[in-house]
Structure 1
Amino acid sequence: MPYQYTFRQGTPPARRTGHAGGMTSTTTATTRAGRTLALASLGFFLITLDILIVNVALTRIGRDLGGSTSGLQWVIDAYTLMFASLLLFAGNLSDRIGAKKALGWGIAGFLVASIGCAVAPSLGVLIAARVVQGSAAAIMLPASMALIREAYQDAKERAHALGIWAVGGAVAGAVGPVLGGALTTLDWRLVFAINLPVCVVMLVLLRSVQKSAARPTPFDWGGQIAALATLGGLVFGLIEGGSLGFGSPLVIGAFIVGAAGLVVFLVIQGRIRHPMMPLPLFRPRGMRIALLVGFAFMVGNFGTVFVNSLYLQQHLGMTPLLAGLVFLPSAAFAVTGNIISGTLANRYGARVPVVFGLLTMVTGLVILVLTAPLGSPWPILVGSIFTGAGGSVAMPPVTSVVLASVPAERSGTASAVFNTFRQVGGAVAIAVFGVLIADRTHFVAGMQTSFIVAGTVILAAAIAAVFIRPATENTRPTS
């Protein structure tokens, strides 16, 4: 039976009892759910932090370890590439061994990789450690979302929980650039060392989380290899094409590998019994729209932060700390947006906050395009407020659509598919925008083109989001 797009309403079993034991059970369940939510939110915080905090440190990293613009792009994309490539595998892993165990593995791997980043003696070693860090992050994310799905069975409670979970990413956006700037002023290695205490706290919280159910299924090794070839070939071709030229045999070969990998991946997913990305997941209209919105959001969010961070430091001569402060108002509005998004979704359905949020992001990008030639940080601050606030309103309702599109036992896989599309959007944006701004004599023109590309992608997603079903349709039971 194809997956239906519906919110599953229901009352948790503990609340159906009227005696004292029922009240105790309810309190225990609520406490456990709160700890689970805190753990999942910390995980999302850590994952997001290690993209945004590094952006501000790129200039100092390049100065100390050497490397061209493409080398600095790899410091970001080595993380996001592995993140995107392994999310599908990680979603299956979460379903197979249980979300709690998978999250524990991810935290431990992230801890070790962060130590490797902090002590890296060269750019190559740093990039290699970022590969491991991105792999660990891939395991953490779908497991954290699956834990929320297990802890909150009621659709409205889950919507609020996902809003709080998203605050973890918004807080990382708030403190990431500023914290990165402050730590980079002392030593850029501290932007990775700061992960260590967060990982320790998460491991402590993990002990109080209830054991997750496991659903043993075979791993799709062929699909995983094809996915790595697809994304690796695409991102390598885009990044290195900016420095080697798109006519380079190496770059052309990378694109051929990526295209061949995609064809092989789709064939495998359609034919094997236990695919890592079951094609029926794409049947619900809400799921397809959510994937487009997630991709577009990352193009507009992480892509523009990457470009603006380099512009503020390399062209306006700002210190890492001051550059980070430029993004602080945006992050503050993003936190507010995440907090209210659940309430908006429950009152108006997912469509209204998603469309409104995406159009607000487009407004911010228009401001950035028009004001780029002015050579001032203030328009960047204003434009970033619109992009940050808009994205924060749109994302939690979209995540609810994803989780409501599949049965609970497929939540890990569905979360992985959604976040794969998100991370591919971020990786592709950084690769493409890096090419557009590689020529420093035409940096502003490349900067404007980057924002126009991002705005166009987000506008297309906003138009698609108009067709998200109203809340009254979403809540109908399915047969």
Structure 2
Amino acid sequence: MTPEPSAGSSGRSDARTGRTSRTASPFRTGVAGRTGSALGAETADRTGVRLGEAAGAPHGSPALALVAALLGFFVVSLDASIVSVALPAIGGELHGGLTALQWVVDGYTLALAALMLSTGALSDRVGAGRAFCGGVVLFTAASAACGLAPGLAVLVGARVVQGAAAAVVLPSSLALVRQAFPDAAGRGRAISLWAAGGSVAVALGPVAGGALTSAWSWRGIFFVNLPVGAVALLLAARTGRSPRRRTPLDLPGQATAVVALAALTYAVIEGGRAGLLAGAVAAVAFAGFLRIESRHPHPVVPLGLFGERALTVSLAAGAAVSFAFFGAFFALSLYFQQVRGESALTTGLLFLPMTMLISSVNVISGKAADRYGPRAPMAVGQAVAAGGLLLLLTAGAGTPSVLVALAMIPFGAGAAFAVPALTAAAMGAVAAERAGMAAGLLNACRQVAAGLSVAVFGSLVSGTPHGFRLAGLHEGFAAAALLLALTAGFALRASSHPPRPAP
């Protein structure tokens, strides 16, 4: 997984026009990845980093600020993609089943998804530099706790703290870049370099995780964050003080969103009577969230945005792509090791052909969206990804791992092709003054879908007490392919009318 502060691809965006160019991965996490069309747009109100505004730059070297921000983005993105290949080793040492291992992934993803709704505003209130340093300190400390965890309960708790810290680091790192490069031309190149950190993390994560687990221990995938975090913190401390802005916070809405997401995920993962109770709690919390958001003067999710059909379609497409990608990534990591008997290192290398394509496919998609409009590339990417999932239905107990890795390529390429286009569609569906809100909502939808996909795929493949349920893998692929096909059809039918101005 890759958290990204934007909704998908990376690049340069003008918050006034919504025009973008894309250069990096759509998968972080989510952050994606954390980019594309959403990078600049997300820098509007919902994240507190307004690229279109003239803001004071912090004192100090812009290069230091850029390197610090890039390292911060890199390390939080890496931690989303590095863990999956180490899950069997974690379960073996800490004596945890698949249900517990799902929480190792989802603890991070869901904390990131829920808190990203408000951490941009928090970064505004305390200053980007202070928020970034605080987030990096917390993330590094949580990484150490993960590496030292004596049991799964401690590990999951530390992963939740990591995700919360990542939700602070992502928007504040982009704010640092904005403040260090007040000139629009220099800023565009700086953001492209910053976003490239997510792409590198996506490609290196599985390989680095496999190498560290095989050569040392799964604990190494967390300890590796310590020197990176320390360097990022030292550089950020030399960038000077960042300006502050009094940005309202919707704490009741944020709290109910956290409860609803956590309860829903618990219901999917745990099932049974406890799952039913958690589902009821999620429903009540969600109803409360809607009520709060409809009345709050500064809601974390402005419900009026859902009146734009093209935006709603883009949100559905983004959720479908994230659900398919992250669910398949999680399940295939287990398949290669538990069914095919591959080592953690070999598993990481098997993901490399797919992940290496993401950045180049992003660029092609961005150009296609600029030339033909976003709807067709969005639908084509989803259709190709769905076709790739159907190819993966051939994965069996005796299928050579290399063939499965080759079948993963069209799936990953299709998903990577869809994300920049769907991000551009979301940005074009709303008035310019609402672009940041739409980008933040799209990012949240993608991260929530990523977390739920791990819960769903995990439940499907854990049907047997001591083994991997291969039929569940195929069921997950088929369901995700159907979901992608449906949202691809919706994309082709989406309205292309100009967005309505904000009230």
TM-score (norm 2): 0.79
Post-superposition offset of 1:75: 0.7
Q: Aligned partners of 1:283, 1:140: CA distance in 2, in Å? A: 31
Q: Aligned partners of 2:425, 2:16: CA distance in 1, in Å? A: 8
Post-superposition offset of 1:308: 0.5
Contact 1:287–1:405 (8 Å) recurs in 2: yes
AA in 1 matched with 2:489: I
Selected match of 2:79 from 50, 55, 72:
50
What is the correspondence of 1:411-430 to structure 2 with a 5 Å cutoff? 413-430=437-454
Selected match of 2:247 from 217, 224, 227:
217
TM-score (norm 1): 0.82
Q: Aligned partners of 1:372, 1:164: CA distance in 2, in Å? A: 40
- Aligned match of 2:121: 92
Q: Residues 36-93 of structure 1: CA distance to partner in whole angstroms, max 9, x if unpaired?
A: 6655554443233212211011111111111111111111111112112211121332
What is the correspondence of 1:422-461 to structure 2 with a 5 Å cutoff? 422-440=446-464, 443-461=469-487
Q: Aligned partners of 1:148, 1:297: CA distance in 2, in Å? A: 28
- Against the structure 1 CA distance between its residues 43 and 271, is the aligned structure 2 distance closer, same or farther, given a 3 Å change threshold? same
Mind listing any 5+ residue stretches in structure 2 that lack a counterpart? 1-14, 21-56
Contact 1:142–1:415 (8 Å) recurs in 2: no
Post-superposition offset of 1:412: 6.0
Q: Residues 211-232 of structure 1: CA distance to partner in whole angstroms, max 9, x if unpaired?
A: 7654423322221221121111
Post-superposition offset of 1:392: 2.3
Contact 1:164–1:338 (8 Å) recurs in 2: no
AA in 2 matched with 1:446: G
Q: Tell me, yes or no, if structure 1 residue 297 matches structure 2 residue 327.
A: no
When structure 1 is superposed on structure 2, of 77-86 and 371-380 the one drifting more is 371-380
What secondary structure sits across from 2:96 in the alignment?
coil
When structure 1 is superposed on structure 2, of 271-280 and 181-190 the one drifting more is 271-280
Q: Aligned partners of 1:229, 1:206: CA distance in 2, in Å? A: 33
Q: Aligned partners of 1:49, 1:233: CA distance in 2, in Å? A: 26
- Aligned match of 2:3: none
- Aligned match of 1:7: 17
- Against the structure 1 CA distance between its residues 396 and 209, is the aligned structure 2 distance closer, same or farther, given a 3 Å change threshold? farther
- Against the structure 1 CA distance between its residues 358 and 148, is the aligned structure 2 distance closer, same or farther, given a 3 Å change threshold? farther
- Against the structure 1 CA distance between its residues 217 and 454, is the aligned structure 2 distance closer, same or farther, given a 3 Å change threshold? same
Contact 1:308–1:380 (8 Å) recurs in 2: no
Q: Aligned partners of 1:33, 1:395: CA distance in 2, in Å? A: 30
Q: Tell me, yes or no, if structure 1 residue 463 matches structure 2 residue 489.
A: yes
- Against the structure 1 CA distance between its residues 143 and 254, is the aligned structure 2 distance closer, same or farther, given a 3 Å change threshold? same
What is the correspondence of 1:351-366 to structure 2 with a 5 Å cutoff? 351-366=375-390
- Aligned match of 1:314: 338
Q: Tell me, yes or no, if structure 1 residue 235 matches structure 2 residue 265.
A: yes
Q: Tell me, yes or no, if structure 1 residue 194 matches structure 2 residue 220.
A: no
Q: Tell me, yes or no, if structure 1 residue 343 matches structure 2 residue 372.
A: no
Contact 1:91–1:412 (8 Å) recurs in 2: no
Q: Aligned partners of 1:138, 1:376: CA distance in 2, in Å? A: 39
Post-superposition offset of 1:390: 2.1
- Against the structure 1 CA distance between its residues 308 and 420, is the aligned structure 2 distance closer, same or farther, given a 3 Å change threshold? same
Task: Provide the aligned length of Structure 1 versus Structure 2.
Answer: 448
Q: Aligned partners of 2:319, 2:401: CA distance in 1, in Å? A: 27
What is the correspondence of 1:71-82 to structure 2 with a 5 Å cutoff? 71-82=100-111
Q: Aligned partners of 2:233, 2:91: CA distance in 1, in Å? A: 33
What is the correspondence of 1:24-39 to structure 2 with a 5 Å cutoff? none
Q: Aligned partners of 2:260, 2:161: CA distance in 1, in Å? A: 19
Contact 2:340–2:397 (8 Å) recurs in 1: no
Q: Aligned partners of 1:418, 1:437: CA distance in 2, in Å? A: 28
Q: Aligned partners of 2:245, 2:427: CA distance in 1, in Å? A: 18
Q: Aligned partners of 2:178, 2:379: CA distance in 1, in Å? A: 25
What is the correspondence of 1:9-24 to structure 2 with a 5 Å cutoff? none
Q: Aligned partners of 1:277, 1:478: CA distance in 2, in Å? A: 14
Higher helix share: 1
Contact 1:7–1:404 (8 Å) recurs in 2: no
Post-superposition offset of 1:422: 1.1
Post-superposition offset of 1:375: 3.0
Contact 2:430–2:501 (8 Å) recurs in 1: no
- Against the structure 1 CA distance between its residues 411 and 226, is the aligned structure 2 distance closer, same or farther, given a 3 Å change threshold? same
What secondary structure sits across from 1:7 in the alignment?
coil
Q: Aligned partners of 1:454, 1:375: CA distance in 2, in Å? A: 21
- Against the structure 1 CA distance between its residues 408 and 118, is the aligned structure 2 distance closer, same or farther, given a 3 Å change threshold? farther
Mind listing any 5+ residue stretches in structure 1 that lack a counterpart? 11-27
What secondary structure sits across from 2:297 in the alignment?
coil
Greater Rg, structure 1 or structure 2?
1
Contact 2:311–2:430 (8 Å) recurs in 1: no
Post-superposition offset of 1:295: 1.2
Q: Residues 309-343 of structure 1: CA distance to partner in whole angstroms, max 9, x if unpaired?
A: 11111111111011111101111111322344443
Contact 1:170–1:338 (8 Å) recurs in 2: no
Q: Aligned partners of 1:469, 1:211: CA distance in 2, in Å? A: 45
Q: Residues 356-394 of structure 1: CA distance to partner in whole angstroms, max 9, x if unpaired?
A: 322221121111013446432123212221222222233
Contact 2:369–2:424 (8 Å) recurs in 1: no
Q: Aligned partners of 1:405, 1:42: CA distance in 2, in Å? A: 33
- Aligned match of 1:323: 347
Q: Aligned partners of 2:492, 2:66: CA distance in 1, in Å? A: 30
Contact 1:90–1:416 (8 Å) recurs in 2: no
AA in 2 matched with 1:424: V
Contact 1:95–1:413 (8 Å) recurs in 2: no
AA in 2 matched with 1:306: F
What secondary structure sits across from 2:341 in the alignment?
coil
Q: Aligned partners of 2:108, 2:451: CA distance in 1, in Å? A: 9
AA in 2 matched with 1:337: V
AA in 2 matched with 1:263: A
- Aligned match of 1:13: none
Q: Aligned partners of 1:176, 1:348: CA distance in 2, in Å? A: 33
When structure 1 is superposed on structure 2, of 336-345 and 298-307 the one drifting more is 336-345
Q: Aligned partners of 1:357, 1:166: CA distance in 2, in Å? A: 21
Q: Aligned partners of 1:32, 1:399: CA distance in 2, in Å? A: 32
- Against the structure 1 CA distance between its residues 108 and 221, is the aligned structure 2 distance closer, same or farther, given a 3 Å change threshold? same
Q: Aligned partners of 2:18, 2:446: CA distance in 1, in Å? A: 25
- Aligned match of 1:141: 170
Q: Tell me, yes or no, if structure 1 residue 69 matches structure 2 residue 79.
A: no
- Against the structure 1 CA distance between its residues 143 and 445, is the aligned structure 2 distance closer, same or farther, given a 3 Å change threshold? same
Contact 2:113–2:444 (8 Å) recurs in 1: yes
When structure 1 is superposed on structure 2, of 265-274 and 41-50 the one drifting more is 41-50
AA in 2 matched with 1:179: A
